[in-house]
Amino acid sequence: MSKEKVVLAYSGGLDTSVCVKWLQDEKNLDVVCVCGNVGQEETGLDAKKQKALDLGVLDCQVLDLRDEFSDEFLTKAIAANSMYENKYPLLSALSRPLLAKKLVEVAHEFGATCVAHGCTGKGNDQVRFEAAVKALDPELKVIAPVREWDLKCRPDEVAYAHAHNVPVPEGANDNPYSIDDNLWGRAIECGHLEDPWNEPLDDAWVMTKNPEDTPDTPTYTEIEFEAGKPVAVDGKKMKLSEIVIALNKISGDNGFGRLDLVEDRLVGLKSRECYEVPGALTLITAHKALEDICVEGELLKTKIKLEQDWATAVYNGQWYSPLKNALDAFMADTQKFVTGTVRLKFFKGNCHVVGRKSPFSLYDYGLATYDCDTTFDEKASAGFIEIDTLSLKTWAKVQGPSSAAAQA
């Protein structure tokens, strides 16, 4: 009788290589690996595929997901100015649902009954993988080897690997950090960073220059949007994945895009995280500046509130959920007129918006100007304030600081 099959989210690193062996030996499963390219720095995907095949997997599918990630996930993140707790642009939370979707597709293709991932039991990523899998196919079982096995730390895993003929990558014990990266940026945790009082060391940063070592003259960049989607940089039309790569370079070279923060994980603990998100922060900064002129004021105020709900839902693994679907529909509606160009100035770790224009701009020079030819009727403001403050005046007389109640 043939064995049951499991589809594993495989990165080719030590954790997921040990997972392959563990699933084969401890769970008696045939393993199919899926290795998604979402724009992470790592190269050598062919070698990783060969490594999986050498471990005896049924298949190892290396999928180039960069455009799907950009067009389906980053486009929505930009529309929602995605920023969890107002500070973190959600890079890992955006890639996990896409990888989960691929696991489910490959599971169907191979008739697998389970999927597996290499996430730890105290992070958010396990929740994101599993929530997405359950939303896409509630019948699939999920296995999380790292939650089940007794390998408590990296040296334990290395020892297991040696004992089971799993090749150990050169320097597997050397990297002091846990890294997750994709087109949208790079998350850096662990090691020296676990004490939130420690300043990050220079070796934590890869995509961004130290602002002290950046050019002494500013760099200007123009980003063009159509209906909320970035379409060109400095007049050059590009697909979104290329735009993100180009902006990662421009802003990273100017030292913009480093974050050092403490965030609240879904599983209840606070964690210190450093992020390099040069392109992501640049695009969100520019997009917000364009919305400032293109989105009507009351709509913008409500949108800003719902952006937090969108980011929290996505952070918490609700990418495929009715709440997130409805919020996306709202966000999409707000983007219809977000078309135009934003001019940015990068200098020594900063990025400032210095210009914005749009054929749909609601900024009305005649209304705004302090020149003599203004079209704003200042006399009308007196009546407006009279009515607008009516409730406040009533309160002031009866209950406020000048009332008899306050004197008593």
- State the residues that interact with ligand ARG by CB under 6 A: 92-93, 124-125, 178, 180, 187, 189, 273
Task: Name the helix (H) or strand (E) containing 1.
Answer: none
CB within 8 Å of 57: residues ≥ 6 apart: 20, 30, 31, 32, 33
Q: Which of 178, 321 has the CB closer to ligand ARG?
A: 178
Give the start-end residues of each E strand in 340-386: 340-347, 350-357
Q: Shortest Cβ distance from residue 93 to ligand ARG (Å)?
A: 5
Q: Which of 222, 260 has the CB closer to ligand ARG?
A: 260
Q: Which of 254, 316 has the CB closer to ligand ARG?
A: 316
Q: Shortest Cβ distance from residue 56 to ligand ARG (Å)?
A: 26
Contact 168, 158 (CB under 8 A): yes
Tell me, rounded to whole angstroms, the distance of Cα 23 from its chain centroid: 30
Q: Shortest Cβ distance from residue 344 to ligand ARG (Å)?
A: 26
Q: Which of 60, 187 has the CB closer to ligand ARG?
A: 187
Give the start-end residues of each E strand in 91-140: 114-116
What three-state secondary structure class fits 355? strand
Q: Shortest Cβ distance from residue 187 to ligand ARG (Å)?
A: 4
CA distance 312 to 306: 10
Q: Shortest Cβ distance from residue 42 to ligand ARG (Å)?
A: 13
**Whose CA is closest to 255, among 212, 223, 217?**
212
Q: Which of 181, 291 has the CB closer to ligand ARG?
A: 181
User: Number of C-alpha atoms within 13 angstroms, CB side, residue 232?
Assistant: 12
Catalytically active residues, by annotation: 15, 96, 125, 178
